[in-house]
Amino acid sequence: MRLEGKVALITGGSSGIGKATAILFAREGARVVIADINDKDAETTVLQITEEGNQAIFVKADVSSAEDCRNMIETAISTYGGLHILFNNAGIMDSRDDNAVATDESTWDLTMNINAKGVFLGCKYGIPAIKSSGGGSIINTASFVSILGAATPQVAYTASKGAVLSLTRELAVIHAREGIRVNALCPGPLRTELLMKFLDTEEKKQRRLVHIPMGRFGEAEEMAKAALFLASDDSSYVTGTSFMVDGGITAAYVTPE
């Protein structure tokens, strides 16, 4: 097992990428802490993991709250004795998010607080715990839109993921010699509830699909496998990267500098 003896905390672990990753990490030997605001779905995920004979607990947390982020880290330590993997995955894609003119300030603030501040707070309290546990891996969920922008306007989401990318690079440099690796997972368009609620018409879906060389949406389980690589010792010399798992979309549209 690739995560034997490791403790992993996953935010947004009740659905989508987070749920798929929690299940996979547990199967690979990790003791998993799922942090989410969604009690029911998170507890269902924990039940699925424990019924397979693996270990997981749920802690309720709003990642935009410093108190909640501190508590989720402390819960991981008090329950499992340390922290080795932190997957800052929780995020939102608000249906009110649009272009700069149409997007209201409250939508901007909410998106930034969860998608960007939530990653900062996770790292703020998680880094000391990982360091005291002997080092480990931090994975921050960014997005392909942090590299090339979105065909369907979503300025708050795009800006928040750009912030995640920059934060990841800086933290990777700062903590590299402390045995802490920090990488950004950059999914392409996925067939998850989060994106499908945003791409709520066939026209919107096709505007995304036409740009993807593979011609399909990605799956949460494919992102979980990428996260497993970044979490495990298989990626021991990988830090500060923007790990693109996007069906080829950025290769098709980004020109190397």
Whether 157 sits among the annotated catalytic residues: the reply is: yes
Among 93, 85, 98, 94, smallest CA distance to 140 is for 85
From the CB of residue 225, how many other CB atoms can be counted at a distance below 10 Å?
13
Catalytic residue among 80, 125, 157, 237: 157
Contact between 84 and 100 (Cβ < 8 Å): no
Task: Quickly tell me which residue has 């409250």 as its tokens.
Answer: 106
Handedness of CA 72, 62, 144, 56 (dihedral sign): positive
Burial 198-210 (b: 16+ CB within 10 A, else e): bbeeeeebeebbe
Residues forming the active site: 157
